[in-house]
Amino acid sequence: MKFAVYSYRDDETEYFKKFCKKYGCEPVMCREAPSPENAALAKGCRCISTVTAPVGGVTLKALRENGVEFVSTRSIGFDHIDVKAAEKLGIHIGNVTYAPGSVADYTVMMILMATRKIKAISQRAAAQDYSLRGVMGKLLSDMTVGVAGTGKIGGTIVKRLSGFDCSLLAYDLYQNDEVKKYAEYVPLDRLLAESDVITMHMPATDENRGFINKESIAKMKDGVFIVNTARGSLINTSDFADAVESGKIGGAALDVIENESGIFYKNKKCDILKNRGLSVLKAFPNVIVTPHTAFYTDRSVSDMVEHSVLSCMLYEQGKENPWQVI
């Protein structure tokens, strides 16, 4: 099978070599994100593999004109692809799965870093300020953690957190019997009202956009900690920043932010960033921002590449494809 690989990174090299050899595939490699200008690279390929760069309607049209029928994204989320345009063009979309422990472990780390004020401690220590004023943390076993979204990743986080002896509340449209062993499923308003820490693991749907906003924040405890390792669009950055400034939000750890595309995964140290929200978030001493790296382990990258290769193969062969979402 011949297929085109876009947004190809150096760290994926060994895995593409390994799995293309294993499954007998012929990849056409491109470091750039798919665009109308490079769509011709996919000519002769029914499938392409890409990652989190935006794929809009114009690009999809160009890909379709070059024979592409299936777009596999090497990520769980596929909100960066214009789904409506793909459907109109007759292009199918697939995502991938990877070890949920990668994001789960990172999330637990972020919860601990936020509640123990690691950002302020680290910044002060770097300036040789070793005083204790203002950096007293909280004990996780004294707190209630609310997990919004209990799919594979959220469910794994619940299990991880159970070892810290904290009270656990969960919310999801579809309840999970395994999660019930460790957490109590409650209505969303109760989770918002009773949680000292809220961590989100929901998909970036239109319904979930701005899940953290002025109205939902008003329902939360004063001093609540917010953790987001899912999707940046779950938080309304302006409302969130207002709540940090007022003290309503006591701290946060964010691995994703609104409008991160084109910034994260690039060296921008000499650039003026066209994302005022990011600049504001980074300025807060109690808000940790990391560049969408919760997934980033050797195991996850291997899974993402293998599943994308397999997904393209299954589509090419007309077989049942567990990763095809549209």
Distance CA 1, CA 170 (A): 43
Say whether 292 is catalytic: yes
Residues contacting 95, CB < 8 A, separation 6+: 72, 73, 75, 76, 77, 78, 323, 325
* 105, burial (CB in 10 Å: exposed 0-12, middle 13-18, buried 19+): middle
Q: Which residues contact 322 (CB under 8 A, 6 or more apart)?
A: none
For residue 34, what is the DSSP state?
Answer: P
Kindly name the residue from 12, 80, 92, 260 that is annotated as catalytic: 260
Our answer to whether residue 92 is catalytic in this structure is no
User: Identity (one letter) of the amino acid at 127?
Assistant: A
Which one of 74, 201, 231, 307 is the catalytic residue?
Answer: 231
Q: Is 194 a catalytic residue?
A: no
- Residues in CB range of 24: below 8 A, 6 or more apart: 1
Between the alpha carbon of residue 62 and those of residues 34, 38, 67, 88, 90, the distances in Å are 10, 9, 9, 13, 13
Active-site residue list: 231, 260, 292
